[in-house]
Amino acid sequence: MQISSEFIWKRNSRPVNEDSLCICHVLFNNKPLLMAAICDGVGGLPDGESASSYIIANLKNTFSSIPRNKHISFNQLSHLFSRCIFSCHEDLTNGASTLCMVIIYQRKCLLISSGDSRCYYGLNKMKVISKDHIDCRGRLTQAIGAGIYCKPYKKFFHISYKSTILLCSDGFYRHNNAIIMQKNCFKTCFDGEKWKNTMENMYSYAVNQGEKDNSSAIAIWFSK
């Protein structure tokens, strides 16, 4: 299975971009292993930008530490990154961040999320497969580095050929949710340039609708 990816990272009208992201991939037992993550620093708290970048840096270090020539199960990967995320929560004292990440290997995917950054997945029609940790007023009920540690949401699933994963911060999906979930919305996105244009158009649409927040997204698509 071939794995391709593209991303956008926009400050918009905020003074700083509190979103951080990464896409990491290596050959693991001669097969592609990929990790992608988006973190959105919590507004209203100091050092939101530092919190999101700190989490991303630690996720990248953890990914780099995975032994390349030994068997490792998804349960082991789950425990490895869970420890990393918990350590980040304990280390962060002046800021907090949402997290939405996936680890992909051999048509299997592990999703981990905390806060309101989202993961969409689908073949002809996308749907939200992460969990929004928000209350009835739309306020965050958990984030990495905020309050008492709450375990992130986790989900294992199998990937279909010609399907797509979309990770995004709330500044990207807030005005685009209905568009993202339209049938065949991404059916014509076969290469990086088309994906880039699609995400840029969605970002422009959100801005025209009044979006001021940072806007970040990672698209991952799969082919034979």
Which one, of 36, 43, 38, lies nearest residue 20 by Cα? Answer: 38
Under a CB-based contact definition with an 8 Å cutoff, are residues 80 and 66 in contact?
yes
Residues 16-30 pLDDT 10s:
889 999 999 998 888
Under a CB-based contact definition with an 8 Å cutoff, are residues 206 and 176 in contact?
yes
Residue span of the structural domain in which 12 resides: 2-223
Domain containing residue 73: CATH number = 3.60.40.10
Residues 151-207 pLDDT 10s:
999 999 999 988 999 999 999 999 999 999 987 777 666 677 888 899 999 999 999
Task: State how many domains the chain has.
Answer: 1
State residue 68's pLDDT score.
79
Examine the pLDDT at 223 and tell me if it is beyond 90. no
Query: Rounded to an integer, what is the distance from CA 36 to the centroid of its chain?
Result: 6
Q: In this structure, how many other beta carbons lie within 10 angstroms of the beta carbon of residue 78?
A: 15
State residue 202's pLDDT score.
94
Confidence (pTM): 0.94
Mean pLDDT of the region 92-99: 93
